[in-house]
Structure 1
Amino acid sequence: MKHGSSTDQLVHLLQDTIVAMVRRDGPDLSARQLAVFLICYLNEGGHTVRGLALALNISKPAITRALDRLGELDLARRKVDPMDRRSILVQRTLKGAAYLRELRSIMTECNAQQAEATQKENPSRSESRRTAG
């Protein structure tokens, strides 16, 4: 697999990661569900339905549907904000933290495989000189 620009490499990394996630035995998230999940796990602070809707520029009902799915999979849960009973906070779960570790591991592995393939396709000049001499 040839990788031209760094943008192409990123797109291939995304493809390889998604393919690996789909092939393994685990939750299959839509792009929207994954975006909500990642915002909740990678960005500190209390996340609300309203805040997530603003961050993703999508409707609150779309966030609610994504959170419904994440809740079914125990990747996130909702809790009433004790400071504002009208507001719902999104909480992380142990299963969600494990899912994030797995995602990171898969991405790291895919990135290493991609780097290895690129190295084989484009050996460095110094390596070429050593083998030629």
Structure 2
Amino acid sequence: MAQNKNDQMLNLLCDTIVALVRKDGPDLSARQLGVFLTCYLHDGAHTVRGLASELKVSKPAITRALDRLGELDLARRKVDPLDRRSVLVQRTLKGSTFLREMRAVMTEASGAKTNVDETASASVERFRTRRAG
């Protein structure tokens, strides 16, 4: 049963990524998406150092991901007014819109999978009932 649940989660991930690739929008690498989602789903101030630590990757890797997110206006960097040596990552309106679209794609993919699973379960149950009867 756990394997089936894992397969469902992987299928949802696959359907979501495929839908995002097909859309006319930002095409993010896994690392860029990980940085983006961390910034948007976890409250609080985010720094390059903090993101590198949280995601367990190097600071240059985070910097490259933020460069791409900045090019796409999905996130921006700002010097921390309390510590000018530190850079804060800020959310953007375009990034918030992209996150909302991603949620919609996942919800749709999840609903489609649920409907397919429910239909398949109902078919199996009808088959069992006919064989038993």
Task: Name the TM-score, length of structure 2 as normaliser.
Answer: 0.91
**Alignment of 1:70 onto 2:69:** yes
Cα deviation for residue 121 of structure 1 reads 0.9
Deviations 1:6-64 (A, max 9, x none): 00000000000000000010000000000000000000000000000001100000000
List structure 1 segments (4+ residues) > 4 angstroms apart after TM superposition.
none
Distance 1:124 1:58 in 2: 47
Paired residue secondary structure (2:122): coil
Q: CA RMSD in A?
A: 1.9
Distance 2:72 2:97 in 1: 12
Distance 2:54 2:28 in 1: 19
Paired residue secondary structure (1:85): coil
Structure 1, unpaired ranges of 5+: none
Which residue does the alignment assign to 1:87?
Answer: 86
Cα deviation for residue 123 of structure 1 reads 1.3
Which residue does the alignment assign to 1:100?
Answer: 99
**Alignment of 1:45 onto 2:55:** no
Distance 1:55 1:29 in 2: 19
Distance 1:65 1:123 in 2: 49
Deviations 1:78-117 (A, max 9, x none): 0000000000000000000000000000000000000011
Structure 1: which amino acid aligns with 2:39? C
Which residue does the alignment assign to 1:8?
Answer: 7
Paired residue secondary structure (1:113): helix
Distance 1:85 1:24 in 2: 39
Which residue does the alignment assign to 1:58?
Answer: 57
Paired residue secondary structure (2:16): helix
Paired residue secondary structure (1:5): helix
Q: Which has the higher helix share?
A: 2
Cα deviation for residue 124 of structure 1 reads 8.2
Which residue does the alignment assign to 1:109?
Answer: 108
How many residues are matched? 128
Tell me whether 17-26 or 4-13 shows the greater mean CA deviation: 4-13
